[in-house]
Structure 1
Amino acid sequence: MTPLAGKSKAIHFFGGEDEYEAKRFARLFLEREELREDPSFESISGDAQSAAEAVAQIDRLREALQSGSLFGSRKVVFWKEVHCLGAKGVGREQGVSEALESLLEVLCGLRPEEVILVIQAGAVDERRHFLRELRRIASVRLFTPLSSERSEDRALGEVAERMRERGLSPTTELCERLWIASGGERQRLDSLIEKLSLYLADSRPMVSEELRLLLRDGSEAIVWDFCDAVVGGKVSEALGELGALLRQGESEVALLLALGQKIRLAALGVLLWESGWVRLSGSGRFVKAEVASEGQAYFPKKKSGAPVSPWQLGMTVAAAKDRVARSWAEALLLLAEANRQMLQGGEKQIRFELALLRLLRQQRVSS
């Protein structure tokens, strides 16, 4: 008997759009409760590719739940990789819906001292009667992608917690870099943290340039480094990053828009700093912006509506404050003109490179 024997719920459901996280929590639950070691443990697949296959799997699950344990004790059933509960695919077939309704009758009669059912599923349609009833009788956990989290503080907090689980000490910069590099995908995030933990396994000191390269896992992180290099006036680094992005097929228009967002942040941040409404604390990689109450109404926002993190704003202002806000506004106008020319046709790469060189030359002149 595991510690679950005295609990009131016979069914434990892990599912949602973030199937990777649902699988991870289902696995941890099975391990923590030692359910896989139970002699009556039985695993049933739910990865049906057709309605007929889904109905057959549901029938097999029903039989497993009703057959009882061969050992005369409580039975443990794991229904894994279930894909018939969503709003698309086989889950919308009439035969599957009827099979689920029939299964629901069995689930409502389960007693935790006799049967423990663990369900691990992908995306689910919470409007369906099956899911509504399941919430009433089961312990249900649904997982959404980290990328859909509107609170940046919560997202970065989760990144920090995952780092601590691997024995790493999180910093604001590392959490930001991991979040950006992962694209908000937890599976990629865990992979990056694994790489980081191996890199730091021999207690080597963290070298910023090495970490910057290590945490690149996709073009989004390189775009971030490219924009940082431009705002910091690092000509050779910016051109090198641009070359890498273009070689891997990144769109010149997309790069221009990303750079425009970064320069807009620089213009607004420096304007707030010149007005005395932003104060920088910390130094180097740990600089952070503190915005006075008078400047909160102007605090920059992301496309999602969430505010830019104090660390990102601080790093941008620290790199950009050697130029006045007006010059950053002029840089925005320069990029807007380049965007107009690129949309009119012609060689986009040449137009973008010329605009970038003009921007960097302006920085040298005004510095």
Structure 2
Amino acid sequence: MAIKLIHGTDEYLVSHHSRKAVNALCPEEEQTLGLETIEGDVKTVDEAVSALKTAIGALRTVGLFSGQKTVWLRDVSIFKDKVISKNKEIKDLLAQLAEDIKNGLPDGQHLIISAPGVDRRSAFYKACQAGADVETYDLPEQAYLKEPIIRERAQKLFAKAQCRVSPAALDLFIEKVGMDTRQLVMEAEKLTLYIGDRNEITVDDVKAITSSSSEAIAWDFTDALGERKLDEALKILRQLIFQGEAPVALMFAIETLYRNLTQFRAYFDQGWLRLSGSRGAGSVQWAHDPEMDRMFIQLPADPRKMHWFRVGKLGQQAKNYTAEELRVCQKRLLETHEQLVSGSVAQEMILEMLVIKLVAKV
């Protein structure tokens, strides 16, 4: 008898380890008769009730010909849905399932529950802690905390494939694939196949074969703005709009970028920040200044705690603008925001004109 709860925000690792656990308990050749999979990714209360009743019923029914039986309640969204999880019938069914877990399953019965997340304060989670093996695969929410984890995973994937990767190629690879583990694994495998027997990955290899995630394409867009590459910025903007990105969301990304650039331009002008030509954390040098300390302690996030790679990128981009140019950019952003929400001109055209005005020399 085995009971496992496998959950977390890293969708790929949750899925991978759930499948691995299922195959260990019920080998693939036995799954036709020995595995019952119940889809837990539901949209309504009725669907959630049906999934939970089916799971409870399956656990209370012996396997065909009295053989072993594995029940997989897969991709359960109930726990994080604020509406469904508060429904009384759902609460009652979760309580029944929790009771079965605490009491233990009959011999030969196994239960795997995989979920994108579970409220760790809930009675159900506590029942799983008491009567099941709990595996958690989370990624931090903050990008600056995610990035070192994703970077380490990429290095391990390339090392496992016996491939060397230059620091510049690794930086570009991470930028393009973004912070999604599934995208990372797929693109790393594709890249190692692409280079064949060469066993060394270059920047040109990454540019040639690695696909940008939607998240990474958005980063490419703001990078092009920060680096004042007008043709590239317009090209990526049109691609994002074609893919269905909301103009208001793109406007928010642009405003965030120029707010950051304005701040970093001020740090340089105050003498608080210096960038050296070296790589790594040593390339970022913050001054020891009481006035800076007093200011940074009042900010929602202290820029000195930001990952060095992000600081270096924003710093280099801020150097492409003067303080006066950024002041004018802020004015244009305010005017465009008002146009975007109240004007009759097509939003795509408004954004294109904004990009031209921002990147052009003041």
TM > 0.5 fold call: yes
Q: Which residue of 1 aligns with 2:258?
A: 263
1:14 Cα deviation (Å)?
1.0
Q: 1:134 aligns with which of 125, 128, 137?
A: 128
Pairwise CA RMSD of aligned residues?
4.4
1:101-140 matches, cutoff 5 A: 101-102=95-96, 104-110=98-104, 117-122=110-115, 123-140=117-134
Q: Which residue of 2 aligns with 1:355?
A: 354
1:206 equivalent to 2:205? Answer no
The whole-number CA distance in structure 1 between the counterparts of 2:93 and 2:149 is 38
Cα distance, 1:54–1:242 mapped onto 2, change above 3 Å: closer
Q: Which residue of 2 aligns with 1:329?
A: 327
Q: Which residue of 1 aligns with 2:36?
A: 44
The whole-number CA distance in structure 2 between the counterparts of 1:329 and 1:359 is 11
Q: Which residue of 2 aligns with 1:5?
A: none
Cα distance, 1:215–1:270 mapped onto 2, change above 3 Å: farther
1:12 equivalent to 2:12? Answer no
Gaps of 5+ in 2: 41-46, 160-164
1:164 equivalent to 2:155? Answer yes
1:79 equivalent to 2:85? Answer no
Cα distance, 1:212–1:361 mapped onto 2, change above 3 Å: farther
SS at match of 1:317: helix
Q: Which residue of 2 aligns with 1:317?
A: 315
1:192 equivalent to 2:187? Answer yes
SS at match of 2:135: strand
Q: Give 1 or 2: higher helix fraction.
A: 2
Conserved? CA contact 2:173–2:210, under 8 Å: no
The whole-number CA distance in structure 2 between the counterparts of 1:15 and 1:226 is 33
The one-letter amino acid of 1:206's match is T
Provide the identity percentage. 23
Aligned residues: 342
Q: Which residue of 2 aligns with 1:281?
A: 276
Q: 1:238 aligns with which of 221, 233, 238?
A: 233
The whole-number CA distance in structure 2 between the counterparts of 1:300 and 1:245 is 36
1:217 equivalent to 2:213? Answer yes
SS at match of 2:158: coil
1:99 Cα deviation (Å)?
5.5
The whole-number CA distance in structure 2 between the counterparts of 1:96 and 1:106 is 15
Gaps of 5+ in 1: 1-8
More divergent stretch after superposition (296-305 vs 135-144): 296-305
SS at match of 2:340: helix
SS at match of 2:361: helix
The one-letter amino acid of 1:13's match is L
Q: Which residue of 1 aligns with 2:16?
A: 24
The whole-number CA distance in structure 2 between the counterparts of 1:287 and 1:330 is 33
SS at match of 1:63: coil
The whole-number CA distance in structure 2 between the counterparts of 1:117 and 1:301 is 52
Cα distance, 1:19–1:76 mapped onto 2, change above 3 Å: farther
SS at match of 2:127: helix
The one-letter amino acid of 1:358's match is K
Conserved? CA contact 1:44–1:61, under 8 Å: no
The one-letter amino acid of 1:281's match is S
SS at match of 2:352: helix
TM-score normalised by the chain length of structure 2: 0.72
Conserved? CA contact 1:12–1:118, under 8 Å: yes
Conserved? CA contact 2:273–2:285, under 8 Å: yes
Cα distance, 1:226–1:54 mapped onto 2, change above 3 Å: closer
The one-letter amino acid of 1:157's match is P
More divergent stretch after superposition (262-271 vs 44-53): 44-53
Q: Which residue of 1 aligns with 2:61?
A: 63
The one-letter amino acid of 2:141's match is E
1:157-177, Cα deviation, whole Å (9 max, x unpaired): 321232134225585884686
Cα distance, 1:210–1:27 mapped onto 2, change above 3 Å: closer
Conserved? CA contact 1:87–1:125, under 8 Å: yes
